[in-house]
Chains A and B, each alone.
Chain A
Amino acid sequence: MLTLVGEDRPGIVAGVTDALFRGGWNLGEASMIRLGGNFSVMMMVRGTGDVTEALRPAAQSMGLHMHVDEISGDLHQHMVPNIQVRVSGADRAGIVAQVTGALAEAGFNILELESDVAGSRERPVYIMNIQGVTETTLERVEQALDALGDVDVSVSSIETLIG
């Protein structure tokens, strides 16, 4: 698992993937996104040798911090989310911790979490979208989040269409 973070600029993805390609590394699942003014890359790569060496010149020239973890991950281990939770409320400390804490207690496994701050500078609104899997019912997840008072929470089931 490869993690790269640095100030956003054009050409990061191209530079990183080109260096990996030249070093003979295969790319697997990846998530790359701009957060604030930074660009973050997380991806699974497979190959032999030292991936840090292969990437060092590119990472240095683009000012990217790099981190490598050896993992036993493999292809075809996807989990399909069955519940979606949307949260919005006045931006205040602790929203994420409270929501995710309640979800964890309800046995809800988060697969993906996205959040953003919308609204004006004076009245920021925190918006969060969580997708995950749980064996318990939608009602049980709703109950777990009921106590959170000042934030709007909507829980819906995700029915994945196969056709």
Chain B
Amino acid sequence: MAVLEILRIPDERLKRPSEPVEHFDDALRAFIADLEETRRHGPGAVGIAAPQVGCFQRIVIVDVSNTRKPVPNHGHMVLVNPEIVHWEGYEMGREGCLSVPDYTGNVIRATHIRLKARDPHGAALEYTMEGFEARALQHEIDHLDGTLFIDRVVSRRTDLFRRKVYQKGGAKD
């Protein structure tokens, strides 16, 4: 196992979309072990995506079971070819990224998602998740599509006005 080098902005490769995994073999599982070691090596990262270490395959790891205040979670998850099939609600929360050192910002994400994925052996997985865990998944899947959270940062002031509009009219923008 090895700690892999994390790509950091302004590395253009972070914008590159990743390809679906086709072979669920030992090489895949060895890479996942390295990816996990890399995640643990970083300061308090709850997730990591393969393209963050320069491997452009649709693989993410998420584990939010160790937050300061406990949140609903499914423990440690390795998800291959994850796909969100349902979104609901929205909420703002603060995010940072292993690939964006020394910066955090507010991002609006869906509060509830349903997702399908494969495990490292190719078996089908399905999850329904909410809150912080759902946020982590959306952050990581963004990496697979070449999007960083800094492309989604909003100001709190924006959110305050959005809230008012949503509550009164229930209108979507």
Contacts and interface: CB of A to CB of B under 8 A. Distances in A.
A pairs with B: yes
Interface of A: 33, 75-76, 78, 80-82, 114, 116, 118, 127, 129, 131, 157-163
Given A80-B96, A159-B94, A161-B47, 19 more contacts: A33-B157, A78-B104, A82-B68, A114-B157, A116-B160, A129-B156, A131-B156, A159-B93, A159-B132, A160-B95, A160-B96, A161-B93, A161-B96, A161-B135, A162-B42, A162-B95, A162-B97, A163-B45, A163-B139
A158 B46 contact: no
B173 interface: no
Interface residues of B, number: 31
A76 B132 CA distance: 26
Nearest to B132: A159
Contacts of B104: 78, 80, 160
Contacts of B135: 161
Contacts of A75: 102
30 contacts: A75-B102, A76-B102, A78-B102, A78-B104, A80-B104, A81-B94, A114-B156, A114-B157, A114-B160, A118-B164, A129-B156, A129-B160, A131-B156, A157-B69, A158-B93, A158-B94, A159-B67, A159-B94, A159-B132, A161-B46, A161-B135, A162-B42, A162-B43, A162-B45, A162-B95, A162-B96, A162-B98, A163-B45, A163-B95, A163-B140
A158 B96 CA distance: 12
Residue from the set B42, B43, B132, B160 with the largest chain A CB neighbour count within 10 Å: B160
B46 A162 contact: yes
A59 B94 CA distance: 35
A33 B139 CA distance: 28
A162 B71 contact: no
A33 to B, nearest CB: 8
Nearest to A127: B160
A140 to B, nearest CB: 14
